Chain A
Amino acid sequence: MTDILNGLVHLTSMLILPGLAYGSQLALGALGVTLIFGVLRFSSFAHAEGLSLGTALTILITLWLQGMGVSLGVLPTALLGMLLAMPLLALVFIGTDRALYRHFRRINARPEVFMIVSAGVMLIMNGVIRLVIGTDGRDFEDGERFIVTARGFRDWSGLAEPLVLKTSQMLTIGLAVLAMACLFRFLNRTRAGRSMRAYADNRNLALLSGVDPDRIVRLTWVLVAVLSVLAGVLFGLDKGYRPFVYQQLLLPMFAAAVVGGLGSPVGAVVGSMIVAFSELALTFAWKKALTYLLPAGLAPDGMMQLLSTEYKFAVSFLILVIVLLVRPAGLYGKAAR
């Protein structure tokens, strides 16, 4: 019995909680990717930079708040800073749209052109981030770092395996669920959300029905900004902020959005969980868990690790390739338009 408990605690602490947290962070990012694709009809390569810029703004605002003596007690002050960073990032996005994307929309440029433009935006944002916050890593998590610590749990339960629950993990999962619930409610129940979906579904028909396209575009960027700041800050709280680590999130985010079906919000969330848990499970060393959970005679000798951890990124690639080969429209996507 203790063995089974130990095994379950080990899996929860090392696989399930980190997987849920990472999956939620990816989901918030992938929702942004899928919204841009659905409404604006292009794949934004600058999306990861958006996350990074949103986090950088949050960090600066948080530092300013801390300087003023503001604190949220056990919770990180960045939660407050985040609220101020969201409108700022939305302004940046809408400004970029006005300066660049709008022109290409007017001349009816093809999606590939938008993609290249977004690559340019990525490079510019990359430079701006360097100017704004520098290239060094930063820890901006304050308050209580743990809800359950390794030592605390061991002492309390008497089990050999520790259970760890970080504040940032709990916040990530909680806030992601909340944000997604709000987003889905907005898309399905409000007039603005419905016109957004109508515009995404059939642009001409929506225009004929009197939907204001500029308003839809603005609304989309605001939503993307909110999601980006959330994703970026939660990722940064959980794993520490390094400006250029966010680029490594671009591939998993796109893989998640494609797995779910580009343009489908539900798909983005499901896809994110698939990508996150595949990455973790394939590089997870199962030896300990199996030793606890299997009868004594069947305990494995090797590490039971399918892929070494350096191949984590290859997993997203693999999933992307398989989905594009087997089911190009993704799980929830509509058949090719």
Chain B
Amino acid sequence: MMKHTLGPLLLGTSLLALPASAEELKIGILFGFTGPIESLTPPMADGAELAMKEVSDSGLLLDGATVSSVRGDSTCVDASAATAAAERLVTVDRIVALIGADCSGVATAVLNNVAVPNNILMISPSATTPALSSDSDKGLFFRTAPSDARQGELLARVLIDRGIKAVAVTYTNNDYGKGFADSFDAAYKAAGGTVTLVAPHDDGKADYSAEVSALSVAGGEALVVLGYSDQGGNGIIRASLDSGSFDRFAVGDGMHSEKLMSDFGPDLQIFGTVPWTVGDGSEKFTAYAAAAGKNADSSFVRESYDAAALILLAIQQAGDPGKAHEHVMEVANAPGEKIYPGELAKGLQILKDGGDVDYVGGSDVEMIGNGESAGSYREFENKGGKFETVRMLGAE
């Protein structure tokens, strides 16, 4: 029974896929629709399709081409399943570009096994591992989420800009903490700072005085705490204050909690970095998505919309989907007219007329390095018991 239906079915899909003319462009969406983040992916895919619909409706892409999406399941964790799904999208559905994959591991597998061999532009909205920053992608891979290493670089810059030249670092003993500490260490040393000691701490312990004692012997003008405010990070600060070892703390996003000041008093000297979205792009996206009846507040929805928008703008700039990857950086960054969510038609028109665009989108897109978003962070500092923004940290 299966045999008889399968043959015509396969034939049917390949026949349908054949007329991939300039009139209809297919873009793959490879997210984990099953697996550990299956609750996040439907709004993400909706976000990406929102941009495609906007472009199709405008009729301004190339010679009035329409865009449609083909969804594939990356499973988030199974690299071989994700590779097979991507393979199918490329060979059977004839996609011209790929949005995804969502999770870092499967994104790496798909990039190396499918995108690079087939010369397919690939933009991931949510893969954040620093490993994807390496330049083995033949210029085909971009991401609209910042690398995990980014915050380490920014925190290093914050300390250097404050004139703090020697610090001790302690991080929570897991992938997040280790990666953060590594990128901070490298960036801080490169900027001329001295790291006296990098020591891990385990969460959920009763007492951190031994850790703090070692850190204080190493010394430093401030203690960098890359942990969690309700876990070991709290214990580290308590033991530091109690023993008089450190009174100035630089922290990352895991420690961005005003409860620290209610625990240790409003005079606590603490500052740090945290991902932060402000500005027109974010508000405009919320309004735009709401008008379309979509969920804008779920994680990585903005980044997904931006990934799709960047692909389409780059195709328009290149004039040929096969060369789109050469133009992603151009449309993402200055110079040019700023393009916000819901203004893709305007962007397409400008490009058609030979102008320049600087895509801002819902997540303040600014591409740095090897094609990854600079992200949007704020430097915060405790002023009288409340965290206040010192400045926004951008791409420069």
Contact = CB atoms under 8 A, between A and B. Distances in A.
Contacts of B336: none
B209 A245 contact: no
A157 interface: no
Interface string A236-249: 00111010110010
A150 B214 contact: no
Interface string B274-318: 000000000000000000000000000000000000000000000
A164 B244 contact: yes
B244 A303 contact: no
Interface stretch (A35-43, A181-189, A279-287): A279-287
Interface stretch (A88-96, A101-109, A205-213, A306-314): A306-314
Interface stretch (B6-14, B51-59, B198-206, B348-356): B198-206
A284 B209 CA distance: 10
Interface string A201-242: 000000000000000000000000000000000010011101
A14 B218 contact: no
B47 interface: no
Contacts of B200: 310
Given A15-B213, A285-B213, A309-B211, 16 more contacts: A14-B213, A18-B209, A150-B242, A164-B243, A240-B235, A240-B238, A248-B205, A248-B206, A284-B213, A285-B217, A303-B197, A303-B217, A303-B218, A308-B199, A309-B201, A309-B214
Given A303-B218, A308-B199, A283 B210 contact: yes
A151 interface: yes
Contacts of B211: 309
A237 B272 CA distance: 31
Nearest to B173: A310
A280 B207 CA distance: 12
A154 interface: yes
A154 B206 contact: no
Contacts of A164: 242-244
Interface of A: 13-15, 18, 146, 149-151, 154, 162, 164, 166, 235, 238-240, 242, 244-245, 248, 280, 283-288, 303, 305, 308-310, 312
A248 B288 CA distance: 53
A310 B217 contact: no
A164 B217 CA distance: 16
Contacts of B216: 14, 288
13 contacts: A13-B243, A18-B209, A150-B242, A150-B244, A151-B244, A164-B244, A239-B206, A244-B204, A285-B218, A305-B214, A309-B214, A310-B200, A312-B210
Contacts of A286: 217
A18 B243 CA distance: 11
A309 B210 contact: yes
Contacts of A154: 244
B243 A242 contact: no
Contact of A235 (B206, B213, B218, B238): B206
Contacts of B210: 280, 283-284, 309, 312
B306 to A, nearest CB: 39
Contacts of B218: 285, 287, 303
B159 to A, nearest CB: 22
3 closest Cβ pairs, A-B complex: A150-B244, A162-B244, A285-B217
Nearest to B213: A14
Nearest to B241: A150
Interface in B171-227: 173, 197, 199-202, 204-207, 209-211, 213-214, 216-218
B209 A303 contact: no
A268 B151 CA distance: 49
Interface residues of B, number: 23
B337 to A, nearest CB: 52
Nearest to B217: A285
Contact of A310 (B197, B202, B207): B202
A310 B205 CA distance: 11
A287 B244 contact: no
A309 B197 CA distance: 13
B239 to A, nearest CB: 9
Contacts of B202: 310
B206 A245 contact: yes
Contacts of B217: 285-288, 303
A312 B200 CA distance: 13
Nearest to B218: A303
A166 B214 contact: no
A256 B383 CA distance: 47
A288 B197 CA distance: 14
Contacts of A240: 206-207, 235, 238
A14 B242 CA distance: 11
B207 to A, nearest CB: 4
A45 B15 CA distance: 70
Interface in B212-262: 213-214, 216-218, 235, 238, 242-244
A62 B391 CA distance: 45
Nearest to B209: A18
Contact of B243 (A162, A280, A283): A162
Contact of A166 (B197, B204, B205, B242): B242
B112 to A, nearest CB: 35
Contacts of A303: 197, 214, 217-218
A14 B173 CA distance: 23
A244 B205 CA distance: 9
Which of A151, A244, A280, A305 has the most chain B CB atoms closer than 10 A to its own CB? A305
Interface string B137-167: 0000000000000000000000000000000
A238 B206 CA distance: 9
Nearest to A242: B206
